[in-house]
Amino acid sequence: MLSVHTSPLHQPGTGDAGGMNVYIVELSKRLAELGVEVEVFTRTTSSDLPPTVELAPGVLVRHVTAGPYEGLVKEDLSAQLCAFTHGVLRTEAGHRPGHYDLVHSHYWLSGQVGWLAADRWGVPLVHTMHTMAKVKNAALAEGDTPEPAARVIGETQVVDAADRLIANTADEAQELAQHYGAGPDQLAVVHPGVNLEVFRPAGPRDQGRGSPADEAAVRAARDAARDRLGLPAGATVLLFAGRIQPLKAPDVLLRAVAVLLERDPTLRERLVVPVVGGPSGTGLARPESLHKLAAQLGIGDIVRFHPPVGQAELVQWYRAATALVMPSHSESFGLVALEAQACGTPVVAAAVGGLPVAVRHGVTGFLVDGHDPHDWARTLQRFLDDPGLGDRLGPAAARHAARFGWGASAAATAEVYADAMGRPGSDAARVPSRLRRASAR
């Protein structure tokens, strides 16, 4: 696997680390459990990093020196692709011929490296876009910077070179065909997953029972999480969790909350809006912009900013929340939505990208068309008017998320690998027996 611009070892929620990091980590671990050895190449960002790190049994992270360790943003990395490719090829040259059976690249920068490596080694290239420039530019947040033409060209080249393209949803597969000319024989739809061992409800809600006793236990678990996090037990808690950048649109949540308070100032006494995450992408240019917006809107007292946290603490934030709010302008899938629902927390999300797959409207949460703060305020008002709404949606949210375990994603991905290696015109005997077994599970 290739992950040029962000390491699977980085903490999701800040910088360029996000859902793609979680995707690579979880997919790699589950593939290894199926008997597929995985090596992830990523760029070295510190002189203190060792050349290799064992992420899990059967999963090795290799650090490649390409450019200065620090100070490079994602937009600068295209100039370092030659150096990164050299490091990848040199590593392979130290092994016996045929050491790598397949290349799986993530994001277009990695696709450029994968294109050359796969061609050099005579192995298939499987690519996952994660995000696409043309799609992002079509749904650009106000004032955000469009993706450059160089990225569009680079993505087109990767699509042309890839043997298989893994899309998160059928809609993403259609976008790959429409915007980049991907052929039907290239496309495979594999839904991402959620770590159901980590992200799960506390108490009876994980069994999906809905008796009054169960709801009482759920409220007790939620209150316990709030007590640990310093959140008021009786408040409506509207959580934003993720990278702070215009694409994720946390400003829409803040503006919607300001609308709610304008209509009913008494809500200030029972409304809390935690923002868990750090500046990322174009948000790095104005890292304090969301803090300033909260102050300008007069809601600085109810918005609580918290830096990114590890999975164990993130579970507590999800469990403590009345609802997770995702007003994104674009999402290839929305892993955060699955994580929250797996914890039994409903989600209010924009009806974009893969979020209509991740969230079942009216069953596990609500989908909102557009980004008008008044529309979002109307949907969020439902949780204020009906304090038990989240408790009633929670069991269905947990059951829905349980359908998206990473084990199923890994098995489907292994099937794509085996198909790419045994496609007509290639040497079908090249498919390793372990991969055939994994894809059959």
What single DSSP character describes residue 354? T
148 is in an annotated binding site: no
Q: How far is CA 74 from CA 70, 281, 282, in A?
A: 11, 8, 10
Phi (first) and psi of residue 236, to 5 degrees: -90, 120
Query: Is 318 within any annotated ligand binding site?
Result: yes
209 is in an annotated binding site: no
β-partners of residue 2 are: 41, 105
Closest CA to 357 of 197, 135, 128, 170: 170
Q: Determine whether the annotation assigns residue 382 to a binding site.
A: no
CA–CA separation, 356 and 21 (whole Å): 22
287 labeled part of a ligand binding site = no
DSSP letters for 405-432: BHHHHHHHHHHHHHHHHT-TTS-GGGS-
Q: Strand runs (DSSP E) across 194-283, as ranges?
A: 236-241, 271-276
The verdict on whether residue 65 carries a ligand-binding annotation is: no
Nearest in space to 85 (alpha carbons), one of 45, 128, 121, 134 = 121
Q: How many helices (H) and strands (E) does the chain have?
A: 16, 14
Q: Using an 8 Å Cβ cutoff, are 258 and 373 in contact?
A: yes
Interacting residues of 240 by C-beta distance below 8 A, sequence separation 6+: 248, 250, 253, 273, 274, 275, 276, 277, 324, 325, 326
5 in a known ligand binding site: yes
Q: Is 136 annotated as a binding residue?
A: no
Q: Which amino acid is at 291?
A: H
Number of Cβ within a 10 Å radius of residue 428: 11
Q: Is 339 annotated as a binding residue?
A: yes
Residue 345 counted as an annotated binding residue? yes
Residue 331 marked as a ligand binder: yes
Residue 138 annotated as binding site: no
Residue 381 annotated in ligand binding: no
Annotation-wise, does 23 bind a ligand?
no
Structure tokens given for 225: 């999480």
For residue 154, the tally of other CB atoms under 10 A from its CB is 19
Annotated ligand binding at 107? The verdict is: yes
DSSP class of 329: S
Containing 367, the helix (H) or strand (E) segment is strand 365-368
**11 annotated ligand binder:** yes
Find out whether 309 is annotated in a ligand binding site: yes
Is 250 annotated as contributing to ligand binding?
Answer: no
The Cα 334–Cα 350 span in angstroms is 10
CB count within 10 Å of CB 19 equals 23
Q: Which residues are annotated as a binding site for 1D-myo-inositol 3-phosphate?
A: 5, 16-21, 74, 107, 131, 151
Q: Which residues are annotated as a binding site for UDP-N-acetyl-alpha-D-glucosamine?
A: 11-12, 19, 243, 248, 309, 331, 339
Q: Which residues are annotated as a binding site for Mg(2+)?
A: 318-319, 321, 345
Q: Which residues are annotated as a binding site?
A: 5, 11-12, 16-21, 74, 107, 131, 151, 243, 248, 309, 318-319, 321, 331, 339, 345
